[in-house]
Amino acid sequence: MPELPEVETVVRGLRAPLVGRTVRGTWHDWHKVIRTPDAESFAARIEGQTFRAVNRRAKYILAELDDAILLVHLKMTGRLYVTPHDAVHDADRWVHFRLELDNGHQLRFSDARKFGFVALTNDVATVTAKLGPEPLTDDFTPDVLKSRLAAHRKGIKALLLDQAFLAGVGNIYADEALHRAGIHPLRAADSLTDGEIVRLHGTIRDVLNLGIDREGASVSWYRKPDGTTGEAQNHFLVYDREDEPCLTCGTPIVKIRAAQRGTHYCPQCQPGLVVP
């Protein structure tokens, strides 16, 4: 599933072709792709509205219109791109939703697994209210992370994947952040020392910023809005490197399960569990 860096890259790639464009029509071929309101009301409400901004909250894309917000979640295989009306792309075979724009282009939503969705709302809090803090904002400090960790005994990897704990971090960047911080993925969250918390806070922000700089990780379905791949996958230290030597110490990378997700770590750089 695309994580914060991938969604941020999509948002940045959509701003130029979308902002200032007016919706002239809608199309969909799968009833669940439009989550709210119903399809007829959705079409009546969005047609004639102009895109004013494109932003992100966690893994949600928030496209601001004159009098509503188009909310999109890519889920596992979603792709969102603007293209000329008559252009043909490989991803078009899975397009289940389109918006016709006033300049002869379309906003297309392709989703092979059909888990993603779009919604039209005036109150994004109905969807985002339970999300945790944004990890790249100034408000997310080591003290904030410490106070949130103190309330949890579950494994730190599982906690980082919980969007109610911290918004936008997923499997890839959790593995990378924990490795850089030298923390075992199964450590109890409330067992981390002050020094480890400060390191983890820094590495979470570092790996997310590096992911954005490299325009996301194209390890599966993710592509940028222009159809090209990101570069982050070429710089992983542990993720998807099972049995390969650690780039720091040479120890083979191990893959285990944490929170039902494949989890990669170095047993030398990220030593075993600490029981509080």
Residue identified by tokens 């029509």 is 25
C-alpha to C-alpha distances, 255 to 92, 116, 188, 236, 240, nearest whole angstrom: 35, 28, 18, 14, 8
Catalytic entry in 75, 154, 255, 261: 261
User: What confidence tier does 120 reach under pLDDT thresholds 50, 70, 90?
Assistant: very high
Q: Is the pLDDT of residue 19 over 70?
A: yes
Mean pLDDT of 124-142: 95
Name residues whose C-beta falls within 8 Å of residue 48's C-beta, 6 or more positions apart in sequence: 22, 23, 24
Would you call 225 a catalytic residue per the annotation? no
Q: Is position 3 annotated as part of the catalytic site?
A: yes
What is the reported pTM?
0.95
> Of the listed 2, 5, 185, 225, which one is catalytic?
2
Q: List CB contacts of 12: < 8 A, sequence separation 6 or more.
A: none
In the chain, CATH 3.20.190.10 sits at 4-128
**Which spans in the chain are helix H?**
4-18, 39-46, 125-128, 142-149, 156-161, 171-181, 194-213
- 123, amino acid identity: D
Q: What is the pLDDT of residue 273?
A: 61
CA distance 239 to 257: 13
Residue 129 in this model has a pLDDT that exceeds 60? yes
Element housing 121 (H / E): strand 117-121
Residue type, 130: K
Residue 59 annotated as catalytic:
yes
> What homologous superfamily is domain 4-128 in, according to CATH?
MutM-like, N-terminal (3.20.190.10)
Q: Where do the CATH 1.10.8.50 domains begin and end in the chain? A: 142-265
Encode burial over 170-197: b for 16+ CB neighbours within 10 A, e otherwise. Answer: bbbbbbbbbbbbbbbbbbbbebbeeebb
- Is 252 catalytic? The answer is no
What is the percent of the chain where pLDDT is above 70?
99
CATH match of 142-265 with 3.40.50.720: no
pLDDT, position 48: 98
pLDDT band, residue 231 (cuts 50/70/90): very high
Instruction: Identify the active-site residue in 5, 6, 8, 59.
Output: 59
Residues near 95 by beta carbon (within 8 Å), at least 6 away in sequence:
108, 109, 110
